[in-house]
Amino acid sequence: MNLQYDVTVIGSGPGGYVAAIRASQLGYKVAIVEKYSNLGGTCTNVGCIPAKALLDSSEHYHQALERFKTHGIDVGSLKLNFQQFIKRKSDVVSQNTSGLDYLMKKNKIDVYHGLGSFVDSEHVQVTGSGQSSILGSKYFIVATGSKPSTIPGVVIDKKRIITSTEGLSLNARPKSMVVIGGGVIGVELASVYARIGTEVTIIEFMDSLIPTMDRELGKALQKSLTKLNIKILLNSRVQSATNLGEDAAVNFIDQGGLAQEIKADYILVAVGRKAYTDGLNLEAVGVETERGKIRVNGQLQTNIPNIYAIGDVIDGPMLAHKAEEEGTLVAEVINGQKPHINYNLIPGVVYTWPEVASVGYTEEQLKKENRTYRIGKFPFAASGRARAAMEPDGFVKVIADTKYGEILGVHIIGPRAADLIAQAVTGMHYEGTDEDMFRMSYAHPTYSEALKEAFLLASGQGAINL
Ligand code: FAD
Ligand code: NAD
C-alpha cells in the first residue's frame, strides 16, 4: 500500500472531515487520521449532535407536560423512559458517524484509526490497536479540537463531578444537578435536565448568563430558564467540588461574598474548553503554540509552512461551523486559491428554548468603540405566528449604523432563532442596510416577520404590528 499522500488531516471533527472532503474535491490524494473508532470528533460524538438530540427529546416531553392541555391534547399520565431518551441520542450519533464513513468512501479518502504523532514535518506516525503506520504527506492539516477544561479546586472524576460528555450519557434521570458555568454548554444541558424534572442550579461567575453575547439576550434567557425552575446564581465564584459517593458538593462564594455549599447528584463542569494537542509531538517539528493553542497566520498556516491548523485547536470561537469554514479555507489555500472568512459574521447559537442566536457586533462592543448606532427591537409577543404557536417570549434586536443603516449586529431570542439568524447573516454578508432588509417580502405568518419588523424599527420608519 502506498502511504504517501498530498494532504493528511489529523482529527476527524467538523474541521477535519470538511478539510479532507474539500481537498479530495480539489483532486488531492487525502488521508484522515482519527484516534477514536468513530469519525466526527467532539461535535458528532459528544457535542453538537447528541446535545441537540437530548434538547429535542426533552423539549417534546416538556411541551407534552406543560402545553398539550392548552392545545386540547390530553395525553393522560406522562412518563419519561430515560433509557430510551439516551438510546435515541446514541442512535442519532451512530447515524451521523456512519454517514461520515460513507462520505470518506465516496470521496476516496483513506481513513486511519489511531493516534497521529509527527515524526518530522513530512511524516506522521499512526498508532492504534497494536498497529503502527507511517504516513508521508506534502501537507498536513491539524484539526485535533478541544477538551473540557476545569477550574482550580474542581477535579473532574467523571463519576459525580462530570463534564458535558458524561452529562450526555447518564444512566438514570438525576434528581438534582449543579452546573458550574452559565455559558453555552451550561444553559443547554441545564435545559435538558430541568425539562425532565431534575432540580437544576447554575452557578455563574459573571453577572449574566451567556455573558459573551449581547447582554439583553442573557437577561431574557434568565427569565425563560427561571420559568423552567432552574435556579440561577450569578456573580458567584466556585471554589471547590467534592465527590461524596452517593452525591457531590460544590462550595462557592455567592454574590454577597458569603461562602455557600450545595449538594447534588452531579456537579457538571462547563467552564470552557481548551485546545487539544496531546500526543501530536509538535515539538518534533517545532510547531509553535500560544497559551496551548496552535499559532497560525491569516492563511491558517503554522510556523512550519506545510503544516496548517484549524478549528478548536487554534484561536477563535469554538464552533463547529467555524471549524468547517476553516477546513474549506485551508484546502483552497493549499490549492492556490484566495478564500476568505469574515469572522465577524460567524453566528453564535444557543439551543435553549427559546433559542438564542446572534451575529455581528453586540451593543456592548459598539458602546466600547464609541460607535453611533440605532436599534430596532421587535417582541415575538406581537407576532401572529408566535401567538398561534404559544411562543410569545423573546425578541429580535437589530443594530444598524446611524449614517447608512448598514446592519452591524442582529441578536435574537425566540422560537427558531437558530434558523432565523441565517437571514441576518445573508444580509450582513452583502453589507445590506436596514432598508434593504425590510424591502424584501417575508412570508406571512412566519417568525421571520419579526426580523422585518425589527429592520423597519431600526430604520426609523416604524413597525407595522407594534
Ligand atoms: P473536534 O470536533 O474536537 O475533533 C477533533 C478530533 O481530533 C477528535 O475526534 C479527536 O479524537 C481527534 N484527535 C485529537 N488528537 C488526535 C491525534 N493526535 N491523532 C488522531 N486524532 C486526534 N458547536 C456548534 O457550532 N454548535 C453546537 O451546537 C455545538 N454544541 C456543542 C455541544 C457540546 C456539549 C460541546 C462539548 C461542544 C459543542 N460545540 C458546538 C462545539 C463543537 O463541538 C466544536 O467547536 C467542534 O467540534 C470543533 O471541531 P474540530 O474539528 O476543531 O475538533
Ligand atoms: P463558555 O465559555 O461558553 O462558558 C463558560 C462559563 O463558565 C462562562 O460564562 C464563565 O463566566 C463561567 N465560569 C468560568 N469560571 C467559573 C467559575 N469559577 N465559577 C462559575 N462560573 C465560571 O464555555 P462552555 O459552556 O464550557 O462551552 C465551551 C465551548 O463549546 C464554547 O466555546 C462554545 O462555543 C462551545 N459550544 C457551543 C455550543 C453551541 O454552539 N450551541 C454548545 C455547546 C458548546
Query: Do residue 174 and residue 50 come from a single domain?
Result: no
**Is 92 a residue whose pLDDT tops 90?**
yes
Q: Is residue 94 part of a domain?
A: yes
Residues 51 and 127 in one domain: yes
Q: Are residues 180 and 228 in the same domain?
A: yes
Torsion sign, CA atoms 307, 312, 318, 321: positive
CATH number of the domain residue 110 falls in: 3.50.50.60
What is the separation of C-alpha 158 from the centre of its chain, rounded to a whole number of angstroms?
A: 21
State the pLDDT at residue 215: 97
Mean pLDDT, residues 345-366? 98
- In a domain? residue 154: no
Quote the ligand 2 centre to 181 CA distance (angstroms): 6
What is the Å distance from ligand 2's center to 180 Cα?
Answer: 9
For the entire predicted model, the pTM comes to 0.98
Question: How many independent structural domains does the chain possess?
Answer: 3
pLDDT at 285 over 90: yes
Closest CA to 265 of 154, 158, 151, 178: 178
| pLDDT of 1 | 53
Is residue 111 domain-shared with residue 25, that is, in the same domain? yes
Average the pLDDT over 207-225 and give the result.
Answer: 98
| In contact, 309 and 300? CB cutoff 8 Å | yes
Residue 62: active-site member = no
The number of the ligand nearest the C-alpha atom of 350 reads 2
**Protein residue closest via CA to atom 15 of ligand 2:** 271
For residue 156, tell me if it sits in a domain. no
> Is the CB of 189 within 6 Å of ligand 2?
no
The reply to whether 169 and 266 lie within a common domain is: yes
pLDDT, tens digit, 9 for 90 and up, residues 121-169: 999 999 998 889 999 999 999 999 999 999 999 999 999 999 999 999 9
Q: Which three cell numbers stand for residue 304?
A: 512550519
Q: Tell me, yes or no, whether 226 lies in a domain.
A: yes
Please tell me whether residue 208 adopts helix, strand or coil conformation: coil
Predicted pLDDT of residue 2:
55
Specify the long-range contacts of residues 118-123, CB closer than 8 Å, at least 24 apart.
118/280, 118/281, 118/282, 118/284, 118/285, 118/287, 119/281, 119/284, 120/284, 120/285, 121/285, 121/304, 121/306, 121/307, 122/306
11 with 131, same domain: the answer is yes
pLDDT of residue 237: 97
Under a CB-based contact definition with an 8 Å cutoff, are residues 10 and 140 in contact? yes
d(CA 414, CA 205): 25
Average pLDDT, the chain: 97
Based on the domain organization, do 327 and 359 belong to the same domain? no
CATH number of the domain to which 447 belongs = 3.30.390.30
* 1-5, 78-82, 417-421: segment of lowest average pLDDT: 1-5
Type and span of the H or E element at 269: strand 266-269
Q: Is there a single domain that holds both residue 266 and residue 278? A: no
Condensed to tens digits (0 to 9), the pLDDT of residues 430-462 reads: 999 999 999 999 999 999 999 999 999 999 999
Is residue 349 assigned to a domain?
no
Which residue, by CA, sits nearest to atom 30 of ligand 2? 318
The Å distance, Cα 347 to ligand 2 centre, comes to: 16
Write down the catalytic residue from 60, 71, 429, 444: 444
The residue whose CA has the least distance to atom 26 of ligand 2 is 272
Is residue 225 pLDDT above 90, yes or no?
yes
68 with 142, same domain: the answer is yes
**Is 348 within the bounds of a domain?**
no
pLDDT digits (tens, 9 = 90+) for 310-329: 999 999 999 999 999 999 99
Same domain, residue pair 257 and 131: no
Look at residue 67 and tell me if it is in a domain.
yes
Q: Are residues 118 and 136 in the same domain?
A: yes
Domain limits at 331? 4-147+274-343
Domain end (from 309, 343, 377): 343
Residue 259 in any domain: the answer is yes
Q: What is the pLDDT of residues 255-280, one digit of tens each?
A: 999 999 999 999 999 999 999 999 99
Given a cut of 90, is residue 309 above it in pLDDT? yes
- Binding site membership of 360 for ligand 1 (Cβ less than 6 Å): no
Both 260 and 191 in one domain: the answer is yes
Q: Which ligand is nearest to the CA of 46?
A: 1
Select from 185, 269, 350, 353 the residue to mutate for testing ligand 2; criterion: most ligand atoms less than 8 Å from CB. Answer: 185
Q: Is the CB of 190 under 6 A from ligand 2?
A: no
Which atom of ligand 1 approaches the CA of 40 most closely? 9
Contacts (Cβ under 8 Å, ≥6 apart) of 385: 444, 445, 446, 447, 449
